[in-house]
Amino acid sequence: MSRLWGGRFEGGLDQIAKAFSFSIEIDQRLYPYDIALNRAHAKGLNQVGVLTEEEWVALDTALIAVKQEMDDNVAGLMDDDEDVHSLVERLVVQKVGSIGKKMHTGKSRNDQVATGMRLWVLDTIDPLKEGVVGCIRSLLQLALRYEHQLFPAFTHFQPAQPTLLSHHLLAYVSMFERDLTRLEHARVSADCCPLGSGAVVGSGFPIDREFVARELGFTRVTDNSIDAVSDRDFLLDLLAMAGACMVHLSRLSDELVLWSSPLIGMITIGDSYTTGSSLMPQKKNPDIAELIRGKTSRVNSAWLTLASVIKGLPLAYNRDFQEDKGIVFDAVDTLMQALGCMEGMLQTVVFHPHAIEAHMQKGQLLATELADLLVKEGVPFRDAHELTGKLVALADREGKTLADLSATQLKSVSPLIPEGILAHLTMGSAVSSKNVLGGTAPNQIRDRLNHLIRIYGG
Ligand code: ARG
């Protein structure tokens, strides 16, 4: 057997056209799914009497043997193997001759490829989930180790207010938890079996589609054959998750790059996730974090690239869809690697409390707290803001922090400022006073940590 569609053609495909159109290099990784769906389909054909018991057993045995050969990498490709579907069929026909030629009864590569991709996505969700949970666990370990460490919170990358380092780290946990929700959504999207939709209008044989779907582990079947062979929303949903997750990894990477610069010096990243320079002997560069940040653009554009493939296509299947695989495999492979790198890299990160505390002396981190203290003394907030602004200007002129101003200096700005107010102005009390749900107060962080430990261990 050569091509799957030879009948009406006299000549073969031009060599350039062949090289341009064959997808076997990219889609052969779908073989376990293609074999699984062929087995389920053959069983379905037997159930409704289209295949005899012997024919079905022969096909099933051949498919199992082909799977083994492919696992062992001994199947061997031939020049006419266009895609994974034609490859699997050729190998089956080689084993069982004309019975193999019955395998494609009542199905098309159109419902087949849609089913294979869905099965691949469903198998990809758990490893991705493990990758995300791995990052959550590494962050949780760091947050537990540095639970009480003070840290500058930033807005506009300007020192803003004191926080706990654990609070900052747990911000990323919140992001990754949203990615887990996105993964569950991608799972629901993919969990719907198109098999039985045929090329476009449904199978001409009375297959029990729900039986076949259950055989493959799907919980639902598609409800419109025209949509089923041309729907790639489940891939867009996975790519949306991949993009969002890479954005989170990228922001974290960006902070690791900044924090590890000798100019900031708040962390050291371990040698196993940094590299040297071929020229400058002193360098210890955060290349892995930079590459996560860099590769994010590839993964982010994947959604748009696939959406652009789909957007102008008339219903139903068009060969353009073949482009989906390269885009999706690349994005998911990159995300998997990035998650693994981030999980491992975080385990090597050491924070430097002295450097962090030295940085906290810059930027008048306690200004908002001072304004809040004035409010608690009865000063309207807008006035308190104004007064504190003046005190900040004074302290900056004197090269001091707000807490170092003298009673006379306070009075020089306004008699409204109570003497002794500065006694309450400490980093620790500023943090403790943010005692709202989701705030940085130590007991809020403890509650959150306890909650996370219950879910992810700790
Ligand atoms: N390799 C094709 C793809 O990925 C399989 C489906 C081919 N269908 C067709 N009608 N030519 O989309």
Task: Please determine, for residue 217, whether its predicted confidence score (pLDDT) is greater than 90.
Answer: yes
Domain 361-456 has CATH 1.10.40.30: yes
Task: Please determine, for residue 10, whether its predicted confidence score (pLDDT) is greater than 80.
Answer: no
Ligand 1, atom 11: closest residue by C-alpha: 319
Q: Are 66 and 34 in contact (CB under 8 A)?
A: no
Residue 2 has a pLDDT of 56
Average of per-residue pLDDT across 138-142: 98
- Torsion of Cα atoms, 81 then 85 then 89 then 92, to 10°: 100
Among residues 97, 107, 283, which one has the least CA distance to residue 200? 107
Among residues 208, 273, 264, 252, which one has the least CA distance to residue 43? 208
Q: What is the CATH number of domain 19-105?
A: 1.10.275.10
Nearest 5°: phi and psi at 103? -60, -30
Task: Please determine, for residue 219, whether its predicted confidence score (pLDDT) is greater than 90.
Answer: yes
Three-state secondary structure string covering the chain: CCCCCCCCCCCCCCHHHHHHHCCHHHHHHHHHHHHHHHHHHHHHHHHCCCCCHHHHHHHHHHHHHHHHHHHCCCCCCCCCCCCHHHHHHHHHHHHHHHHHHHCCCCCCHHHHHHHHHHHHHHHHHHHHHHHHHHHHHHHHHHHHHCCCCEEEEEECCEEEEEEEHHHHHHHHHHHHHHHHHHHHHHHHHHCCECCCCCCCCCCCCCCCHHHHHHHCCCCCECCCHHHHCCCCHHHHHHHHHHHHHHHHHHHHHHHHHHHHCCCCCCEECCHHHCECCCCCCCCCECHHHHHHHHHHHHHHHHHHHHHHHHCCCCCCCCHHHHHHHHHHHHHHHHHHHHHHHHHHHHHCCEECHHHHHHHCCCCCCCHHHHHHHHHHCCCCHHHHHHHHHHHHHHHHHHCCCHHHCCHHHHHHHCCCCCCCHHHHCCHHHHHHCCCCCCCCCHHHHHHHHHHHHHHHCC
Q: How many CB atoms lie within 10 A of CB 130?
A: 13
Whole-number Å distance, alpha carbon 331 to ligand 1 midpoint, is 21
Break the chain into its structural domains and give their ranges. Answer: 19-105, 110-124+145-158+168-197+223-358, 361-456
Ligand 1, atom 7: closest residue by C-alpha: 109
Query: Where is average pLDDT lowest: 3-7, 72-76, 262-266, 439-443?
Result: 3-7
Q: How far apart, in whole angstroms, are the C-alpha atoms of residue 274 and residue 386?
A: 46
Question: Which is the closest atom of ligand 1 to the Cα of 325?
Answer: 4
Which of 82, 84, 112, 113 maximizes ligand 1 atoms within 8 Å of its Cβ, making it the mutation to test the pocket?
A: 113
Q: How far apart, in whole angstroms, are the C-alpha atoms of residue 360 and residue 428?
A: 12
Question: Which is the closest atom of ligand 1 to the Cα of 83?
Answer: 1
Is residue 156 annotated as a catalytic residue, yes or no?
A: yes
Q: How far apart, in whole angstroms, are the C-alpha atoms of residue 328 and residue 14?
A: 28
The overall average pLDDT reported for the chain is 96
Average of per-residue pLDDT across 227-240: 98
Of the candidates 277, 297, 308, 406, the residue annotated as catalytic is: 277
Is residue 277 annotated as a catalytic residue, yes or no?
A: yes
Contacts 24+ apart (CB under 8 A), 410-413: 413/387
Task: Please determine, for residue 208, whether its predicted confidence score (pLDDT) is greater than 60.
Answer: yes
Which of 3, 109, 120, 328 maximizes ligand 1 atoms within 8 Å of its Cβ, making it the mutation to test the pocket?
A: 109
Question: What is the third-level CATH fold of 110-124+145-158+168-197+223-358?
Answer: Fumarase C; Chain A, domain 2 (1.20.200)
Same topology between domain 110-124+145-158+168-197+223-358 and domain 361-456:
no
- pLDDT tens-digit series, residues 345-375: 999 999 999 999 999 999 999 999 999 999 9
Residue 29 has a pLDDT of 98
Whole-number Å distance, alpha carbon 31 to ligand 1 midpoint, is 14
Helices 381-398 and 367-376 pack at an angle, to 10 degrees, of 140
Ligand 1, atom 12: closest residue by C-alpha: 322
* CA dist 157 → 114, 160, 220, 254, 258 (Å): 46, 8, 48, 12, 11
Ligand 1, atom 4: closest residue by C-alpha: 322
Residue 279 has a pLDDT of 85
Query: Where is average pLDDT lowest: 219-228, 294-303, 418-427, 446-455?
Result: 418-427
Ligand 1, atom 2: closest residue by C-alpha: 322
